[in-house]
Structure 1
Amino acid sequence: MKSYFDTYRPEGFSTVTPYLFAEDPARLIDFLTHGLRAEELQRTKDPESGTINNCILKLGSSCFMIGKARPPFSGMRASFYLYVRDVDEMHKLAVSEGAKEIMAPADMDYNDRQSGIQDPEGNYWWISKRLVEKAYDD
């Protein structure tokens, strides 16, 4: 029996792909490309207003999208768990590029080194590195 999810997905896209709505998408894209080292893959703008309708970004092996927040999608916030090689370095970079520190880097009792930031649009990012090579439930 075929799964409902057996379908083509472009490289870097998962079955569930985050889509953020931002009041100022250009500011968020700028923060993500500089503060978290995201790569911008594609951007489409409204031909009349120049507003960013959609932008595809890639962080590591994961793609996600950003668009201009318009009613009823204004004020939405999200939270992301971002795995990186060096939590302290990424945390410092993000804060230097305008993120608000939520939690300083620290080793957690569940074997992750983790910090927390809030991006300029209010989304939360939990910057993490697994300290052991095993699942969370082991």
Structure 2
Amino acid sequence: MTNIPPGYSSVFPYFFASNAEDFCAFLVTGLGGEEIGRTMAGSRIANARVRLGTTTVMVSEATNDWPAMPASYYIYVADADTAQQRALAAGATEIMPVADQPYGDRQGGVRDAWGNLWWISQHLGEGYD
């Protein structure tokens, strides 16, 4: 497929978040992301790009026309236990402790302060392979 910027995929999450500045900080501090770009509209984030592993996500400040809308995300990490503790230290709330799952992932779950659910998973190699 052509016309896709380097580091992006044909479909990627786009967050509208109240207090997008702090949400971007959570993506970096809590989930190990790297902010790779930001466009401002006055004092608000019009568009920030954060790389989480092999995926780039986009974040904008929520407005009346574009309200905040939480969702659920499945994120693969190298170490689910460490990643879950990092997210909790950054303010997330645990919704499921990390444990081995029958489908081959070691997984836990957290809810961030914006209402998003994050299924933090480490693939162990058995199950779906």
Shorter chain as denominator, the TM-score bin is over 0.9
**How far, CA to CA, are the matches of 1:125 and 1:35 in structure 2?**
11
**1:82 corresponds to 2:59:** no
Per-residue Cα deviation, 1:53-86 (whole angstroms, up to 9, x for no partner) = 1100001111010001113432411111111110
**How far, CA to CA, are the matches of 1:133 and 1:51 in structure 2?**
45
More strand by share: 2
Quote the residue 2:41 is aligned against. 46
Structure-2-length-normalised TM-score: 0.93
CA displacement at 1:102 relative to structure 2: 0.9
**How far, CA to CA, are the matches of 1:77 and 1:54 in structure 2?**
17
Structure-1-length-normalised TM-score: 0.87
How many pairs are equivalent? Answer: 129
CA displacement at 1:17 relative to structure 2: 1.2
Whichever residue aligns with residue 129 of structure 1, its letter is Q
Whichever residue aligns with residue 3 of structure 2, its letter is Y
Per-residue Cα deviation, 1:85-122 (whole angstroms, up to 9, x for no partner) = 10000000110110111111011111110000111211
CA displacement at 1:11 relative to structure 2: 1.9
User: Where do 4+ consecutive residues of structure 1 move more than 3 Å?
Assistant: none
The 8 Å contact of residues 87 and 114 in structure 1, kept in 2 or not, is answered as yes
**1:33 corresponds to 2:61:** no
Structure 2: gaps spanning 5 or more residues: none
> Could you say which structure has the larger radius of gyration?
1
Structure 1: gaps spanning 5 or more residues: 1-5
CA displacement at 1:37 relative to structure 2: 1.1
Q: 2:15 aligns with which of 12, 20, 24?
A: 20
Quote the residue 1:66 is aligned against. 59
